[in-house]
Amino acid sequence: MDYYVHVSSARVGLTQTQIILVQNKIPLVLGLGVTGKSILNFLTKSHDEIYLIEENPDNPSLSDLSNYDTKVHVNPFIGEDFFESVSVIYVSPGISKEHPIILKGNENKILISSDIEEFLNNSKSLKIVVTGTNGKTSTSLMIEALLKAFYPHLKIKCIGNIGNPALPCLEQEIDVSVIEASSFQLELINEAQFEIGVLLNVHEDHLDRHKSFDEYRDIKKKVLKFSEYNISFDDSNDLRKEHKNYDLFEMPEDVINSKFYKSWPKHDLQNLKAAICVLDFFSQIYKQAPLNESNFYANIQIALESFKKPEHRFELLAEVKGIQYINDSKATNLHATINAIQAVNRFKEKGNLFLICGGDLKGQDLSVLDPDIIKSIKEIFIFGKDKDTLFESMHKHTNCFIEKSLEDAVRKASKNAKDSDYVLLSPACSSLDMFEDYQARGIKFKEIVEEIRNE
């Protein structure tokens, strides 16, 4: 318990008297999802009592609480003096910062923290934190694959927003941790130190959560503020740290134009450049050049031949009746969809592009849509909550149709497409108006395509 309090109090600059008071207080965990459960497990190793707020009485994890030696107070009565007994509030990234518990915590000047912050301040591994509006997961996994290939004697693990909770990894022997961090997770970091920070890109997204684009951008830049070595798309270096602009990094033309990279979208090549910059910084920190450096790009290709991007990220499905279907359900913002459209236009030799998009725009500014990009699309099929808004923005530049559902959109596009054409699902929107998440939307798209194949 003393160790935990020392770490937390150091971050917020408490006096010795305040440290003693915090030691007698109780941490509060808000939410018992995957992240919340990992926080609870972490805290039970250092605390006799924990507060837990869980609003779903049917959460099956509640039945596991009796297995802890620590006393867990579930949904305690919150009176006027309750927050005087709370030391820290731990929040999962999916919980709104407008939640009454968080607002009360801020009002009472209680530290609002997260699992990522605790991991960054407690892990002895070399830490690489990756963020950006688009490409976080693919780049994090790419970095992991390259490091494993060039430094096979090291234990390297990708964690965080990618789906692997961070805190359980404190109990594992890890030499290098690659941490994917969303804006929701970065927002909850008050103070941290890590070796390498990677900022891939910043475009409008999650403006339904953040007050403005400026706030969103500043949260993303935390990854540069807290890191010793910076990698970003920007040539400015106002933080006066070791910095690389991956956008200026040049891969040999014969490599980029090779058969292996021909079908790679431009944004994936950009992500690869960022990963190579990480490899360069890592060799400086680790003070050892990568193995097989003499044939550098050939070995990168070998490392990536077995690398497979996660589902729903510009995923090429099998052709059906000569039509190439592409599942890009993870494109939950306009810039991701623009990247996908440009990627198809880059590698297709003939045929037309049919786009399926729609859902919840999350307050995005549609003025970023370049009319020339829209004109490069044969037809657009729009569904979901903000279908009318999208239609008004795009129908002047190409043929647009409003559909009742994703299935209607896919079937209409399939009917109109011909041999050598492309049908691209790249929604530019959140899926939550009609689906549980972008994965459910992508799975549904693949099911519809499979049905069309079998008809």
The CATH number covering residue 438 comes to 3.90.190.20
- Whether residue 63 lies inside any domain: the answer is yes
Q: Which residue has the higher pLDDT, 266 or 114?
A: 114
Torsion sign across C-alpha atoms 335, 406, 416, 367: negative
- Whether residue 365 lies inside any domain: the answer is yes
Cα angle at 254 between 248 and 260, to 5 degrees? 100
Mean pLDDT over 326-345 rounds to: 94
Cα Rg of the chain, angstroms: 24
Q: Domain boundary residue among 279, 305, 331?
A: 305
State whether 163 and 240 are in the same domain: yes
Predicted local distance difference test score (pLDDT) of residue 264:
85
- Whether residue 247 lies inside any domain: the answer is yes
Domain that holds residue 441: 315-454
Task: Band the pLDDT of 237: cuts 50, 70, 90.
Answer: low
Q: Domain boundary residue among 305, 333, 355?
A: 305
Q: Is the pLDDT of residue 238 over 80?
A: no
Q: Domain boundary residue among 250, 285, 305?
A: 305
Cα 44 from Cα 68, distance rounded (Å): 7
CATH value at residue 13: 3.40.50.720
Cα 192 from Cα 207, distance rounded (Å): 25
State whether 286 and 321 are in the same domain: no
State whether 258 and 331 are in the same domain: no
Predicted local distance difference test score (pLDDT) of residue 239:
58
Q: Is the pLDDT of residue 212 over 90?
A: no
Distances (CA, A) of 167 to 34, 171, 442: 11, 8, 29
DSSP string of 26-82, one letter each residue: EEEEE--SHHHHHHHHHHTTT-SEEEEE---TT-GGGGGGGG-SSEEEES----TTG
Cα angle at 394 between 388 and 395, to 5 degrees? 80
Instruction: Convert 328-352 to b/e letters by CB count within 10 Å (16 or more is b).
Output: bbbbbbbbbbbbbbebbeeeeeebb
Predicted local distance difference test score (pLDDT) of residue 204:
57
Predicted local distance difference test score (pLDDT) of residue 247:
86
CATH value at residue 199: 3.40.1190.10
Pick from 73-77, 287-291, 336-340, 409-413: least confident? 287-291
- Whether residue 371 lies inside any domain: the answer is yes
Q: Which residue has the higher pLDDT, 211 or 426?
A: 426
Q: What is the pLDDT of residues 162-182, one digit of tens each?
A: 888 999 999 999 999 999 998
Dmax (CA) of the chain: 75
State whether 425 and 387 are in the same domain: yes
State whether 384 and 450 are in the same domain: yes
Torsion sign across C-alpha atoms 437, 32, 128, 106: positive
- Site of tokens 């990480």: 278
Please count the structural domains in the chain: 3
Torsion sign across C-alpha atoms 264, 267, 268, 269: positive
Q: Is the pLDDT of residue 8 over 80?
A: no
Torsion of CA 218, 222, 225, 228, to 10 degrees: -150
How far is C-alpha 5 from the chain's CA centre? 30
State whether 151 and 54 are in the same domain: no
Strands 323-327 and 315-320, by their bridges, are antiparallel
Residue-averaged pLDDT of the chain: 89
pTM equals 0.81
Predicted local distance difference test score (pLDDT) of residue 307:
84
Token pair in block for residue 82: 């309750």
State whether 292 and 354 are in the same domain: no
Q: Is the pLDDT of residue 235 over 70?
A: no
- Whether residue 310 lies inside any domain: the answer is no
Task: Band the pLDDT of 345: cuts 50, 70, 90.
Answer: very high
Mean pLDDT over 270-295 rounds to: 85
State whether 424 and 392 are in the same domain: yes
Tell me whether residue 183 is exposed, middle or buried, using C-beta atoms within 10 angstroms of its C-beta: 0 to 12, 13 to 18, 19 or more: buried
Beta-sheet strand order (sheet of 49-53)? 71-74, 49-53, 26-30, 86-91, 111-113
- Whether residue 118 lies inside any domain: the answer is no
- Whether residue 193 lies inside any domain: the answer is yes
- Whether residue 355 lies inside any domain: the answer is yes
State whether 109 and 164 are in the same domain: no
Cα 2 from Cα 4, distance rounded (Å): 6
State whether 240 and 269 are in the same domain: yes
Predicted local distance difference test score (pLDDT) of residue 20:
43
State whether 231 and 371 are in the same domain: no
Task: Band the pLDDT of 21: cuts 50, 70, 90.
Answer: very low
Task: Band the pLDDT of 397: cuts 50, 70, 90.
Answer: very high
Mean pLDDT over 21-38 rounds to: 86
Distances (CA, A) of 78 to 30, 47, 105, 112, 119: 13, 20, 12, 17, 29
Number of other residues whose CB lies within 10 A of the CB of residue 317:
17
Cα angle at 425 between 421 and 427, to 5 degrees? 140
| Residues in the chain, overall count | 455
State whether 276 and 208 are in the same domain: yes
Pick from 15-29, 103-117, 349-363, 386-400: least confident? 15-29
Strands 71-74 and 422-425, by their bridges, are unpaired
